[in-house]
Amino acid sequence: MDMKERSEKIELYGRGFSLLKAALAEVPQEAMLFKPEPREWSVHEIIIHIADSESNAALRARKLIVEPGGTLMGYNQDQWAIELNYHDHNFEDALEVTRLARKTTYELLKRQPEEVFSHWIKHPEIEGEYTFDKWVDIYSRHIPGHIEQIQNNVSVWKKI
């Protein structure tokens, strides 16, 4: 990935929380716990997942900067949602965790020299080298991808 593309993705990453808040403003309270299918997540569960994922992502970014060549911790997101009973988690706290993880990591990303983005690490769920550029690509799209999921949930909910 060249510097221009990376910079655009880092800026998208930095806007992620604002985009999420704007999308949530469009979700009726009555739709928050709705699941389009039994094995799919509700909006509430999506937000708790995002908080867990963003916390892990923030740690992964720091490990990529400081300990290249090491190994990341993997996690089964579906198992986390079930075992941690995401519906019992506080929605507002999860949003605050997401906001802070994004804010601090975005500031950290902007201060990194070019060579850091070629750092790599072993990811237990991904074959080959998991580079910092790959991390930037994945997490710049993480919240926008879940915004689509949230919008789909609301669309299905409105049809019922």
Q: What is the pLDDT of residue 70?
A: 92
Domains of the chain: 3-159 (1.20.120.450)
Q: How many CB atoms lie within 10 A of CB 28?
A: 11
Token pair for 108 = 């950290």
The whole-angstrom separation of Cα 156 and Cα 43 is 12
Q: Decide: helix, strand or coil at residue 122.
A: strand
24-38 confidence digits (pLDDT tens): 999 999 999 999 999
pLDDT of residue 160: 86
Which residues of the chain, if any, have pLDDT below 70?
none
How high is the pLDDT of residue 4? 96
Tens-digit pLDDT profile for residues 63-88:
999 999 999 988 899 999 999 999 99
Task: Round to whole Å and give the CA distance between 108 and 91.
Answer: 26
Residue-level pLDDT at 63: 96
